[in-house]
Amino acid sequence: MLNMNINSALITGSGRGMGRAIALRLAQEHIPVIINDLDKRLGEETQKLIQDSGGICSLKIGDAADEDFVDDMVENSVSEYGSVDILVNNAGVLRPTPIVDITLAEWEFVIKGNLTSTFLCTKKVIPAMKKNNWGRIINFSSTAGKNISTVGGAHYTAAKAAILGLTRHTAKEVARFGITVNALCPGLINTEMVRATISDELVAQYANSFPIQRLGEPDEVADLVMFLASDKASYITGASLDINGGDLMI
């Protein structure tokens, strides 16, 4: 059961894939949704899907790893809705480059797109959540954060591992304010980003190697986000929840 006093939810990287599925799922619960993406066309597509289904949403096009943009996005959202009560740090980038071929520029790009974006958005929403003595922050790590990436490079693995540490530390700092902070660790999910990175043949090989022999679906991830955002998860914080079809069991 979701808290009835939720004013809004911000989902970064919600133009497609898991972010879009999460935004649609939250909107179905009559929660005003703030869509964020770098791609204006994709963001507008998500916005239209929500509005066509009777949901309330606003669109913030920009880089969740840019401090000035994040400051404006959160401040405008708080001004519009009163508070941002749920933050889903879904934005991320993936590159499959072998470590010997990773340039410093690409390293910084991947770290920034995954880890820095999570840090900046988390930092910015906490003051408003403190005022309400309630909040849900849900970070996206990966099986890569606990092992190594299935398709990404060393920079992706490093960023996703760091997100787990950021999750634990933040959870401990803000628990006394009624804010929970948790991480999801998806395995190979059937998203456009995965499909654009590896061939269909390789996708099939990976899927057949999992105990549950298929890719996960974005809607399944959205259901797990809904649980963490609900009052049913009020005693869970600093945790990492796996959703990987048994690919990684620890």
Check pLDDT > 70 for residue 4.
no
- List the domain range (segments joined by +) for residue 171: 9-189+220-236
In a domain, 194, yes or no: no
Q: How confident is the model at residue 227, as a pLDDT?
A: 97
Q: What are the tens digits of pLDDT across the range 124-174?
A: 999 999 999 999 999 999 999 999 998 899 999 999 999 999 999 999 999
Q: What are the tens digits of pLDDT across the range 102-132?
A: 999 999 999 999 999 999 999 999 999 999 9
User: Mean pLDDT of all residues in the chain?
Assistant: 95
In a domain, 241, yes or no: no
Residue range 182-207: mean pLDDT, rounded = 87
Check pLDDT > 80 for residue 3.
no
Q: What are the tens digits of pLDDT across the range 25-74?
A: 999 999 999 999 999 999 999 999 999 999 999 999 999 999 999 999 99
Percent of the chain surpassing pLDDT 90: 84
In a domain, 145, yes or no: yes
In a domain, 204, yes or no: no
Q: What are the tens digits of pLDDT across the range 223-235?
A: 999 999 999 999 9
Higher pLDDT, 9 or 210: 9
Q: How confident is the model at residue 151, as a pLDDT?
A: 87
Q: Is 156 noted as a catalytic residue in this protein?
A: yes
Q: How confident is the model at residue 109, as a pLDDT?
A: 98
In a domain, 119, yes or no: yes
CB 107 within 8 A of CB 90: no
Total length of the chain: 250
Whichever domain contains 72, its CATH number is: 3.40.50.720
In a domain, 160, yes or no: yes
In a domain, 180, yes or no: yes
Return the CA Rg of the chain: 17
Q: What is the number of domains present in the chain?
A: 1
| pTM for the full predicted model | 0.95
In a domain, 206, yes or no: no
Q: Counting Cβ atoms within 10 Å, is residue 115 exposed (0-12), middle (13-18) or buried (19+)? A: buried
